Amino acid sequence: MTFSPSQIQDKQLENIIKNCNPFDREVIVTKQAIWKESFPDVPSINAAASDAVFKAIDNVSNGHRKVIGITHRAERGVGKSHIISRIRSHIKTEGNAFFVYMGEYSDLDKIKLEFLNILCASLKQEGFQGVMQWQELAAALVNEALDKKYNLQTILEVFPNWFKQTKHNLVNQLTQQILEIKSDIEDPDLITAIVCTLHPTYKAFAIKWLSGKSLTTSKAEEMGLPNPSEEEREAECFSKICQILDVISNYKTIVICFDELDSTDYSESGFTRAQIVASFIKDLYNNIKRGVFLTSMYPQTWSNHINSLPQAEAVVDRIGSHIIDLKYLNSNDVLTLVSCYLKEFYTEQGLTPPHSVYPFTETQLRTLGTERPTVRKVLNWCKDKWRSGPIIDPRKLAYNNELQNIEADFMEDKAKLAKAMIFAFNRIIGQKVEGVQVEKIETILEPYNEYINFKIIGKEKGKTVKIGVAIMQSSNGNRIGACLRHLSQYQIYDLTRGCLVRSTRINPTSRVARQRLNVLLNEKRGAWVLLKEEQVRPLIAIYAVYSARENYELSDREIFEFISQKKLALDNPLLKEILSNTCGKIPENADDEDIVYGS
């Protein structure tokens, strides 16, 4: 028997529908999805929300306004992050602005340092000209200094040769020429670092320095950059942020989006995430030349948190020049959304369906639209109604999604590493691992200590053990030495063992740090556990799932059961190594100290 082309097409369609479910994927828009444009967008859905931002960019670019604050309000799943992704895509296509996205907050008490890091990470993302936004900015500075109109790709190609021919004097010369033109720039080192992003060898180190992180002394000297102490960097942090934003505003409007503000996290001062961020935006608003701020939150977050702030009116005036309430979908929106997803799917498969929403019917989708659903509800409805095999465990989907979207430089985020490890250790309380019966995990508050991240309390061979854990990824010898001094003070912090967690070597020239390492390892019988990316990634990913459990619509119990079933904590080599009594050893395979993660 032979089949007609239409019969073959029908058979292929049925096989695809049976074996592939285009909706059986994570519907949560993660921070990485914002940058990757990894899902279809329907511009007509809540177009007013994105159009308000585009209009604000035009108004600031044209000089009609200096700074504009916009707030999008909507319940979970309505599509706030989809719209942010739409805005990012538009900016990248049009090239009329720089885009910054903040959707993660590890330490509310250091929001300025957190934002500086996010600002620098966002500017590492690809911009209008197909390279890092940092490099677009650096090229604009160089062209103005030289009074030229070099193509950006040309600058990137010739810059290393210029640099080599001038024996490293090129950056100094350019910095001086730029400062002559931009007399309002207070920090010449800032310009030096931005210009260095054009050099393939130095760009990663330049961005690390701009992010407020320390370099090794030799690398800082090589690049002609100062290497201030941790305290000095924190004190200068806000000034650096404002100067970076002001340098950008000489060339383009900056659009800064703050997402994921609805958490109940509290700072040490008792303010919520939304309150801390809103107050921070108010300070930025008052101190920068030009920009557009976009905040995204639930209506109840606005009512309960923002409106209850001290000086709430001043905050609202700045972050809510325009307040836009996102709308639920109607029947036409549902049809458009589903047909958009299916068009992408069938195009990838090389097949032509009988109609745009096949195998669903228009009647089904219009009926669904009468319920005023969220985007998330529609996509989940399609996933459940699709004729395919077993549905993948939503916990596994969420975990894999977070695993794939871990930030490239996560190894340098001490607060994130600490939270993930504390979360994982809490999952093995009551269990015996490496001879230690884990009983309790504590953070050290008295005396306040920023070096020792947490303490593990348990029983080992019938005796109480109290293991202090300090994550220290800094390259600064003084910072490392201070950490090791605290970690060795067993009596003050009520410890029986100190454990340094670190991925890179300690420079032999850091004499004090090396001496204190010797005290910890040999006199105090403490340990240095090597921090490895592949061991900590699963902990970062599952903690991210837990932090976003409302978005993923997962309960604590479901997540804890998944951790137990997969033994993500119980069998994690990093946790086991911290608990094991391996004292006095310096890891042989630590990374080089000049490594820049995610470069």
**pLDDT, tens only, 340-377:** 999 999 898 888 888 999 989 999 999 999 999 998 89
Q: Is 96 helix (H, G, I), strand (E, B) or coil?
A: coil
pLDDT above 70 for 595 = no
Answer yes or no: do 419 and 535 share one domain.
yes
Residue from 205, 191, 108 nearest 475 by CA:
205
- pTM given for the model: 0.85
pLDDT of residue 5: 46
Exposure string for 276-292, b = 16+ CB within 10 A, e = fewer: bbbbbbbebbeebbbbb
Look at residue 185 and tell me whether its pLDDT is greater than 50.
yes
pLDDT confidence of 332, banded at 50, 70, 90? very high
Count of structural domains within the chain: 4
Mean pLDDT (whole number) for 51-76? 95
* Cα 261 to Cα 272: distance, rounded to the nearest angstrom: 9
- Average pLDDT of span 263-272: 88
Domain finish residue from 295, 325, 355: 325
Same-domain status, 303 and 346: no
Give residue 316's domain range: 46-109+253-325
In this structure, the answer to whether residues 200 and 338 fall within a common structural domain is no
- Distance, CA of 138 to CA of 156 (rounded, Å): 10
Would you place residue 389 in the very low, low, confident or very high pLDDT band (cuts 50, 70, 90)? low
Q: Clarify whether residues 146 and 283 are in a common domain.
A: no
Let me know whether 572 and 426 are in one domain: yes
Confidence at 599, pLDDT banded by 50, 70, 90? low
Q: Do 75 and 12 share a structural domain?
A: no
- Does residue 263 or residue 334 have the better pLDDT? 334
pLDDT at 263 over 90: no
Domain limit, last residue, from 358, 391, 424: 391
Average pLDDT on 298-325 reads: 93
Checking if the pLDDT of 230 tops 80, the result is no
Same domain? For 365 and 317 the reply is no
Domain identity same for 311 and 379: no
- What pLDDT, on a 0 to 100 scale, did the predictor assign at position 435? 93
Give yes or no: residues 455 and 569 share one domain: yes
In our burial notation (b when 16+ CB lie closer than 10 A, e otherwise), range 183-197 reads: eebebebbbbbbbbb
Q: Decide which of 309, 325, 341 is a domain's last residue.
A: 325
Average pLDDT over residues 509-527: 91
Residues 422 and 569 in one domain: yes
Task: Answer whether residue 390 shows pLDDT above 70.
Answer: no
Band the pLDDT of 40: cuts 50, 70, 90: confident
Q: How many CA atoms lie within 13 A of 158 on its CB side?
A: 11
Judged against a pLDDT cut of 80, whether residue 536 lies above it is answered with: yes
State whether 554 and 453 are in the same domain.
yes
Per residue in 403-427, pLDDT tens? Answer: 988 887 888 888 899 999 999 999 9
In a domain, 56, yes or no: yes
Residue at 125 is within a domain:
no
- Mean of the per-residue pLDDT values of the chain: 89
Answer yes or no: do 183 and 155 share one domain.
Answer: yes
